[in-house]
Structure 1
């Protein structure tokens, strides 16, 4: 890939996603959606700064913005890292099965392909934590954006998990596979409900319930 995927326009990325090209795929989409969720958290924070009503929490908001920027940037990097991991995996699958290197090369490439979606899970979990705090401390005028960020992060978590599972299914080393799956399951079980709770709280506030 001569051009980084993340440097494309929104239209260009969506077109590439819809094309016959195997990358970007679900992993890249997961990372991008997670980055958008983190960005919405930052939007709420940036629009809270400078308001007298929220002066007491301004130092906290600034910390949230710093952390959110790091999460957003890392998730954007993972769009291309996920795509880069596909090429060696594709080459590994093209090695004839009677080649003595086939199994080892394929196993290594498959294991490496788990790295990007696993980190997506970790970063999206961090984003959910930031959104929880932003909901409590950010401007009430921005709660819908915080809720949207939570929905994006929940979707990104679930998408990233699918990209872990499709690779762990192919791993012959079941100890490694099960460890990755256990970690993935744990993140989903903790953070998907937390993200959903943020969105539900926002809905309740907006509808006066």
Structure 2
């Protein structure tokens, strides 16, 4: 996998659009609505996750230092460090999603007239599909790993900002389900059945955490 990742990362994206996380919201939305291949749904899922992490951090900051929630403070500080790291990773994956898609788009355009060209096309496509399915799977797993700590925040965090925990849960659900679609649209074209099965089973395992996020939303509704 590392070989494929190195291969795709060397192929830069043309244009002068700032990296995800460094552009304004208006710039991102303008780029997203254009006919250009990136940013696209993969970037949106990653940004959704980064927004969810940010909301969790906001509620955490509003909870810290309050006597009412002193029993939760030590655990919360650990969780907030995890959420900060998660946001950084999500933004990085937004960029990696673009880096994964561009080589794939180029691979589709490879000539396929001769047997030799067809073989080159198949090999290149398989490499690109491997990486293009790997990136959203990492985002999916990242969100899944956060589900438990977000439910804890819904139960223990400041009640004044509890609705924002519910919104964060919704954003994570969007990121997870969108990432699952982005994995499957690529694995659907893969020839390596073993790798395809491995990726799709990982998707199904991660999606089990959606129920925990749904429970988080219900917990928020009870506390409001």
TM-score (norm: length of structure 1): 0.94
Matching of residue 60 in structure 1 with residue 78 in structure 2: no
Matching of residue 198 in structure 1 with residue 198 in structure 2: no
Over 2 Å off, 4+ runs: none
- Counterpart of 2:180 (choices 144, 155, 161) is 161
Corresponding pairs, count: 205
CA distance in 2, matches of 1:177, 1:69: 32
> Are 1:64 and 1:134, in contact at CA under 8 Å, matched by a contact in 2?
no
Q: Which residue of 1 aligns with 2:199?
A: 180
- The alignment partner of 2:169 has SS state of helix
Q: Which residue of 2 aligns with 1:147?
A: 166
Q: Which residue of 2 aligns with 1:47?
A: 62
The superposition leaves residues 60-92 of structure 1 with CA deviations (integer Å, 9 ceiling, x where unpaired) of 111111011011110011100000111111111
CA distance in 1, matches of 2:220, 2:67: 23
5+ long unaligned stretches in structure 2 = 1-12
CA distance in 1, matches of 2:108, 2:148: 38
1:56 shift after superposition:
2.4
The answer to which of 54-63 and 103-112 deviates more is 54-63
- The alignment partner of 2:191 has SS state of coil
TM-score (norm: length of structure 2): 0.88
The superposition leaves residues 105-151 of structure 1 with CA deviations (integer Å, 9 ceiling, x where unpaired) of 11111111111101000111122222111112211112111111111
Task: Give the aligned CA root-mean-square deviation in angstroms.
Answer: 1.1
Q: Which residue of 1 aligns with 2:28?
A: 13
- Counterpart of 1:29 (choices 34, 44, 47) is 44
1:161 shift after superposition:
0.4
5+ long unaligned stretches in structure 1 = none
1:205 shift after superposition:
2.3
